[in-house]
């Protein structure tokens, strides 16, 4: 068990030049409250910052794909430095070149209530709480992922509890249904092009919704390790929320594309042209779908379709005529960690029920050659292709980390 960390704003202030950015410098307050805010942040890559008030500061996590109302659908939440409570009212732009440069929207706000002692929950690695916001409500879990040797950054998973506020995977995504600012009603573009200042809420505290605590739920199992691997280099990463397939060329579905392979690197790159992802312990597989016919190819081009029949069946059911997906087949143990030894055992025993494909790139889709697109656009297209898949199904999206390499302070590999 990890000890309780001291709260403070020194790391927050050290990363910012307050003569340049309009972000609040803030103070650690003595008054206790239970506010929460979720800020949509178009930095190097679009993400959502979850902040929970505790001990006079806002405990903060960068949720890479934003919160999901589908129970069991895990969203990666990278813990970042504590923010001042005054940050709850910040909506505007951070100058490019500054830390977190980009547009910030107050997407949701309200109050939160922990189910148990939040300090013990944070130390243990499982924080269960209830939200009462303008968009989000009900019970939630934050579950810390296992940290491997050399890692200094905590990665968590944000998971919705089963309750009346939940939605199914077939329902409209709350992020798409309610994209506007909870304070000003503006879009991200309107905030970007508007006055570059701090926007303040004029709603009274009395108008804020009250929290109705829910009963404690059983903690979900942890997911795979948060060891990080640099999977691809993206030549152009922008926060734009445009259609990812615009302007691509058309070509026949290739028989096989030789995958980029990892090499060791002593220092993690900080450039915005790099994307960081979870390292899996499994077999690199290229899934080729052509009018219902599936081939699962190893990184050397060997046909291993018969070894992973459940994965092949899931690929065949995707809503596409043709696709070429780069990913990794893994088996997760009872602790939620991907295990190469378990995968080998299952292959030897012809056991297929635990096999999962984590996809991290989409190179071809329905006649469109996507390789010229930035990686983030290809992954957005892959996320849409996997949208109807069950949260804990056979096909899963490999999440990206938005933190800079040196900030994560994690041994990385370079492709």
How would you label 375-401 residue by residue, b for 16+ Cβ within 10 Å and e otherwise? bbbbbbbbebbbeebeeeebbbbbbbb
Establish whether 89 is a catalytic residue.
no
Query: Which residue in the list 74, 160, 229, 279 is annotated as catalytic?
Result: 279
Q: For every residue of the chain, which 3-state class applies, written as one string?
A: CCCCCCCCCHHHHHCCCCCCCCCCCCCCCCCCCCEEEEEEEECCCEEEEEEEEECCEEEEEEECCCCCCCCCCCEEEEEEEEECHHHHHCCEEECCCCCCCEEEEEEEEEEEEECCCHHHHHHHCEEEEEEEECCCEEEEEEEECCCCCCCCCCEEEEEECCCCCCCCCCCCCHHHHCCCCCCCCCCHHHHHHCCCCCCCCCCCHHHCCCCCCCCCCCCCCCCCCCCEEEEEECCCCCCCCCCCCCCCEECCCCCCCCCCCCEECCCCCCCCCEEEEECCCCEEEEEEEECCEEEEEECCCCECHHHCHHHHHHHHCCCCCEEEEEEEEEEECCCCCECHHHHHHHHHCCCCCCEEEEEEEEEEECCEECCCCCHHHHHHHHHHHCCCCCCCCCEEECCEECCCHHHHCCCCEEC
Q: What are phi and psi of 207, to 5 degrees?
A: -85, -5
- The CA distance from 74 to 158, in Å, is 6
Are 70 and 169 in contact, with CB atoms under 8 Å apart?
A: yes
Write the CB contacts of 6 (distance below 8 Å, at least 6 apart in sequence): none
- The CA distance from 117 to 310, in Å, is 42
Structure tokens at 238: 């922008």
Place of tokens 């504590």: 82
Q: How far apart are the first and last CA of the chain?
A: 35
Cite the active site residues.
279
């Amino acid at each position: 068990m990890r000890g309780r960390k001291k709260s403070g704003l020194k790391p927050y202030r050290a990363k910012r030049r307050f003569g340049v950015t309009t972000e609040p410098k803030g103070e650690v307050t003595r008054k206790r409250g239970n506010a929460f805010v979720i800020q949509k942040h178009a930095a190097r890559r679009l993400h959502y910052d979850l902040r929970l008030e505790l001990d006079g500061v806002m405990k903060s996590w960068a949720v890479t794909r934003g919160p999901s109302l589908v129970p069991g659908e895990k969203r990666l939440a990278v813990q970042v430095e504590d923010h001042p409570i005054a940050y709850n009212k910040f909506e505007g732009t951070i100058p490019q070149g500054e830390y977190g440069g980009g547009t910030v929207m107050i997407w949701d706000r309200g109050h939160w209530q922990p189910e148990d002692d939040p300090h013990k929950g944070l130390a243990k690695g499982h924080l269960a709480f209830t939200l009462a916001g303008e968009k989000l409500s009900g019970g939630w879990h934050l579950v810390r992922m296992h940290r491997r040797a050399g890692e200094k950054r905590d990665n968590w998973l944000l998971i919705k509890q089963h309750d009346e506020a939940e939605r199914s995977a077939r329902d409209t995504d709350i992020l798409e249904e309610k994209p506007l600012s909870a304070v000003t009603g503006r879009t991200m573009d309107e905030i970007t092009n508007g006055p570059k200042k701090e926007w303040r809420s004029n709603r009274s505290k009395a108008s804020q919704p009250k929290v109705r605590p829910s009963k404690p739920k059983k903690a979900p199992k942890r997911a795979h390790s948060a060891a990080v691997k640099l999977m691809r280099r993206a030549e152009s990463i922008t926060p734009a929320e445009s259609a990812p397939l615009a302007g691509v060329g058309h070509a026949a579905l290739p028989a096989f594309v030789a995958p980029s392979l990892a090499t060791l690197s002593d220092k993690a790159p900080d450039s915005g042209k790099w994307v960081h992802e979870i390292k899996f312990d499994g077999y690199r597989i290229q899934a080729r779908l052509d009018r219902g016919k599936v081939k699962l190819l190893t990184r050397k081009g060997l046909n291993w379709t018969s070894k992973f029949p459940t994965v092949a069946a899931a690929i065949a059911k995707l809503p596409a005529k043709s696709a070429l997906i780069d990913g990794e087949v893994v088996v997760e143990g009872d602790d939620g960690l991907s295990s190469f030894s378990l995968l080998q055992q299952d292959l030897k025993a012809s056991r297929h029920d635990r096999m999962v494909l984590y996809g991290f790139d989409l190179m071809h889709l329905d006649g469109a050659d996507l390789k010229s697109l930035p990686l983030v656009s290809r992954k957005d297209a892959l996320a849409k292709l996997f949208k109807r898949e069950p949260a804990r199904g056979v096909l899963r999206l490999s999440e990206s980390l938005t933190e800079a390499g040196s900030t994560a302070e994690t041994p990385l590999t370079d492709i």
